[in-house]
Structure 1
Amino acid sequence: MDFISIEQLVSGERVARKALEFGRGVPDPGGWPSGWTLGPQEAVAREKLKLEEEKRKKLERFNSSRLTLDNLTDLENLVQRRRKKRQRHKVPPREPESGAEPQPQVPLEPVGLETFLKAAAENQEALIDKYLADGGDPNAHDKLHRTALHWACLKGHRQLVNKLLAAGAAIEVRDLLDRTPVFWACRGGHLDILKRLLNQGAQVNAQDKEGDTALHEAVRYGHHKATKLLLLYGAKLGMKNVASQTPVQLARDWQRGIRDALQAHVGHPRTRC
């Protein structure tokens, strides 16, 4: 039996093509008999041969792909090809994302009263600015005497409230039910706007046609923080409306109604405890 040295395996020499005493057939093209089980050293040597062969092929491919620059013309051609390649792969400028808010544009046409009031409710400052710049009346109102300040206070548009006040909007303007912007701010529960109006001198004890005060309104809509703020600014607990209800009684009736509703469902088959 012939033995193969490690040196022969590493150097790439082929094994003689002969049948071994314990194997039959012709060795495979790689130089190893078909029935031969490699030992650890032979397996390592064969793996090294494979790696050396792969390195050799890569080196041949690299050498064959290299450019020869024999003269200045070859260099210019190479620069032109690379320049065209960069232009093909040049990243186009990014377009603004669809989710980004578009910048408001100042309208060219005059803004009418209806558009002005709608813009106050929807916080469209560009339309408000155009209306005021054209000399529009900040205290203009609709058929129910609702002004832009009423809508801005109800919707919680603080910056718009400041802009309207700076433009001369009346802080005690009343709608058809004699409700001032303070009422509308209480209904919306917007503390920052309510505080701004009170600091500007708005009356805290003004009553509407039903005798309600802003404190009644805050209690009715369950805005306890607005209730506390009005009390800090001097709102009176004993003011009665046309139904002879004070804010305290209104709160008690509100709580009693909730309690009665809860008690009515105690023991109900659909009620889950």
Structure 2
Amino acid sequence: MKPEQIETYRTIAAAAGVIATLGLFSVLYKENKFYRLFEHIFLGLAAGWSAVAVWTESLREIWWDKLTGVVETTGVVTEPGRWAYILLIPIGAMGYMVFSKKHNWMAKIPMGVLLGIWSGQQIQSYWTVYGPQMKQGMLPIVPTAFDQVIARSDRTPELAAVTITWSQAISNFLFVFTLLSVLSYFLFSFEVKNKALKQVNVAGRYLLMIGFGAIFGSTVMMRFSLVIDRMYFIWDEFLMKRVLHIG
């Protein structure tokens, strides 16, 4: 393609992106057919891309290559084929029997296989995932360096590992208190009658609200970052560079 044809193509692509962005954002005003059109286009593109991605990034590597084997361009077999993987075809096909009223019971077989494999993997990896979290929750709350409020920059790594300053002790105490109070909020096995435990229970509820509020705030910030990115695309990539030819 000629350079001017490439620029024309890029301008058309940028204009299509701007129209699609405005169409999707038009739902903020109200439900309309313009939004519905681009919603269906977006979902169609996402479905098509996902179908290709499932094959190229998942099935081809972990199933097809192992089934047929891998042969280099020189003709050397780097990985022999294992025809036992062909048994996965009928197992996977059973999942589509959910659309049949007569044979929908067959769809439960692959689901049971998947749940069994997943359960075994979760039991095996439970300690690997949650063990470090439990260890990180056991923090020291008594300072060992009473003459230091904050960590000093001249400490060696070995000394820093065993030195707990006042600021670290306070931070660790707040963490442990938050952990225990939130856990006490989920004590549903028995009725809480102790007044002190009730107060800790209430504190755990408020701390949960603070945590959920922080998560919600980060979610809103992420949404705004998407809006800012699209506005930058409309203003800089399309309007300034493609229309006004500035920059």
**TM-score, normalisation: structure 2:** 0.20
The one of the two structures with greater contact order (alpha-carbon pairs below 8 A, sep at least 6) is 2
Which structure has the highest helix share of the two?
A: 2
**TM-score, normalisation: structure 1:** 0.19
